[in-house]
Amino acid sequence: MVRILGRESQHSIASKLFDLIPVEKYSLDVRAYTTILHAYARSGKYKRAIDLFDKMEGIGLDPTLVTYNVMLDVYGKMGRSWGRILELLDEMRSKGLEFDEFTCSTVISACGREGMLDEARKFLAELKLNGYKPGTVMYNSMLQVFGKAGIYTEALSILKEMEDNNCPPDSITYNELAATYVRAGFLDEGMAVIDTMTSKGVMPNAITYTTVIDAYGKAGREDDALRLFSKMKDLGCAPNVYTYNSVLAMLGKKSRTEDVIKVLCEMKLNGCAPNRATWNTMLAVCSEEGKHNYVNKVLREMKNCGFEPDKDTFNTLISSYARCGSEVDSAKMYGEMVKSGFTPCVTTYNALLNALAHRGDWKAAESVIQDMQTKGFKPNETSYSLLLHCYSKAGNVRGIEKVEKEIYDGQVFPSWILLRTLVLSNHKCRHLRGMERAFDQLQKYGYKPDLVVINSMLSMFSRNKMFSKAREMLHFIHECGLQPNLFTYNCLMDLYVREDECWKAEEVLKGIQNSVPEPDVVSYNTVIKGFCRKGLMQEAIRVLSEMTTKGIQPTIVTYNTFLSGYAGMELFDEANEVIRFMIEHNCRPSELTYKILVDGYCKAGKHEEAMDFVTKIKEIDISFDDKSVKRLGSCIREKVGSTL
């Protein structure tokens, strides 16, 4: 039974079966035990594997090289077990067992999972001193270690060493190289690896394409991802389930429901059966505020199709329920996960952090990080990125600075993802100094900033009227070979408006009116703001007319902009007309709307008119609350007092 299940790679069935059968009572040989250990390792039941290994040694069975390799894999996947891995290696040496390629690559992979770059370097150096000549598998594992950290320079050094030692790269080598490039922000260079492979006679496989498709999707370049997806199919490379999962996740994040259904239908037509990861992806995709019933429905359907939740499913469910606002279900999933024999890991903690990041609950996030470290887990780049998102959502600059210090002091490796997150977190808090420092570090480490990062810098420089630096960012976009998007053009229009160049802002608007995507309400509001600031109200009205003709409806920001323009020119009748128009067209004025006009009256020295206006607000806007009326009245009295 053990032999058959092992040969057929039915690891989940094997692990379930041997949970029920007390195998310790039977006289199984070391090979059978090794197969059961492998089944537990593959199904994520690491504690069961460790217990069985201890019992196996207790009854006097001598582990073979393969047994030790399986246990090294168990500890590597379980995490926080470097000390135990070193003990196993010493045990193997004492028994005269020579390390093979699998032993070495498994240990290196364990270092990669924990982000232990120095340990990986040291282990390989010791092997070489003892006469070990790394092969392709070993080099690939080293590539993966540095690839996960996005250190493409070391990855290229490993590739050169392979060539110098006449060790031929295989498809896995190139796949790891492509992954390294994309993790360092070099998406197009990752794409170029596909051409390099072909020129070297190594055919790109589904993993190669999936790596780049996934990176394009995460960078918001969905069109590039979908083009590559079509190209791989045209070239005869059949997408595998992981390719489809990446495309589904990308489309799901953009709420492209119809496209998600098309891809699922395509999977079915091509005979590509959804796996657990597909279901996990669907669970993640349908997790939105107040939609925990959808998560329940997908989970039921998953079980009906014969897929019991695994460790990744539980991690996804913890995160999904929390994002839906159902913390009770989230806690319940954590309990069920432990009850099912799965040990919480870094991914589990990251799932909790992901949920907290959506709420900006940085105090709870700090507790999660502390709990991880107390239990011997090492937070990875994802953990710190999510903590930064928590801080930025809550506007906690000091929290961001704490993580910054750990990164810049060398306690946390400054990966591309972390430095990128630092730029965006500081941008969200409008913290210019922190943004500039993180951007400088990105360049210092040779990482390639993406368009989102550059746009954020452009936006911040424009907002702070640092016009020369803003223009540097515009040049930087072209130097990096990136294509400006709508956000870039909106930032450029805002830059011109702040420089009092409203006509230039309109030129930009006209230039993108027939582009894809077309200008949005922000684009038109920016140009309207430019004309209103200059007192060119008729031009602003003309742009508003063009905007509505295009089918874009004005927002409260649009109307507030007109109010600021009229109030600044002391055209109070026209300003009052704007408010009446808003109410008639079901755009409810806010307290800010009325305050703009009140400030206008006060600035013109018309305090009595301001007070008269406030007392009559309820006559024209019955929905406006009394507390806001009182606040506006207090504001006028303060201004009167300051002029006396």
Each residue's pLDDT tens digit, 279-296: 887 777 766 655 667 777
Q: How far is CA 83 from CA 77, 90, 413, 529, in A?
A: 14, 11, 21, 63
The pLDDT score that the predictor gives to residue 543 is 94
Confidence of residue 7 (pLDDT cuts 50, 70, 90): low
Residue 618 belongs to a domain: yes
579 contacts 589 by C-beta, under 8 angstroms? yes
Each residue's pLDDT tens digit, 556-572: 999 999 999 999 999 99
For residues 325 and 466, the model is more confident at 466
Tokens coding 188: 């197009």
Residue 602 belongs to a domain: yes
The pLDDT score that the predictor gives to residue 243 is 93
- Of 173, 150, 149, 178, the closest CA to residue 162 belongs to 173
The pLDDT score that the predictor gives to residue 327 is 65
Amino acid letter, 393 = K
The pLDDT score that the predictor gives to residue 162 is 87
The pLDDT score that the predictor gives to residue 265 is 85
Residue 385 belongs to a domain: no
Specify the number of domains making up the chain. 1
42 contacts 11 by C-beta, under 8 angstroms? yes
Each residue's pLDDT tens digit, 144-155: 888 777 777 888
Measured distance CA(596)–CA(582) in Å, rounded: 15
Q: Which of 77-81, 208-212, 319-323 is most confident?
A: 208-212
Confidence of residue 258 (pLDDT cuts 50, 70, 90): confident
pLDDT at residue 326 is higher than 70:
no
Residues 6+ apart with CB under 8 A from 107: 72, 76, 85, 89, 123
Residue 548 belongs to a domain: no
The pLDDT score that the predictor gives to residue 72 is 92
Residue 596 belongs to a domain: yes
The pLDDT score that the predictor gives to residue 557 is 94
pLDDT at residue 18 is higher than 80:
no
For residues 56 and 498, the model is more confident at 498
Each residue's pLDDT tens digit, 424-447: 999 999 999 999 999 999 988 888
The pLDDT score that the predictor gives to residue 643 is 62
Tokens coding 160: 């050169």
For residues 504 and 253, the model is more confident at 504
Confidence of residue 482 (pLDDT cuts 50, 70, 90): confident
State the average pLDDT for the chain: 86
pLDDT at residue 525 is higher than 90:
yes
DSSP 383-452: HHHHHHHHHHHTT-HHHHHHHHHHHHTTSS---HHHHHHHHHHHHHTT-HHHHHHHHHHHHHTT----HH
Confidence of residue 497 (pLDDT cuts 50, 70, 90): very high
pLDDT at residue 66 is higher than 70:
yes
Buried b / exposed e over 28-64, threshold 16 CB at 10 Å, is: beeebbbbbbbbbbbbbbbebbbebbeebeeeebebe
pTM, two decimals, is 0.64
Residue 326 belongs to a domain: no
Count CB-CB contacts under 10 A for residue 534.
16
Average pLDDT over residues 346-354: 85
Measured distance CA(359)–CA(339) in Å, rounded: 28
165 contacts 197 by C-beta, under 8 angstroms? no
Residue range(s) defining the domain that contains residue 585? 573-643
Q: What is the CATH number for 612? A: 1.25.40
pLDDT at residue 456 is higher than 90:
yes
Tokens coding 110: 């364990």
Residue 24 belongs to a domain: no
Tokens coding 430: 């409008």
The pLDDT score that the predictor gives to residue 287 is 61
Residue 556 belongs to a domain: no
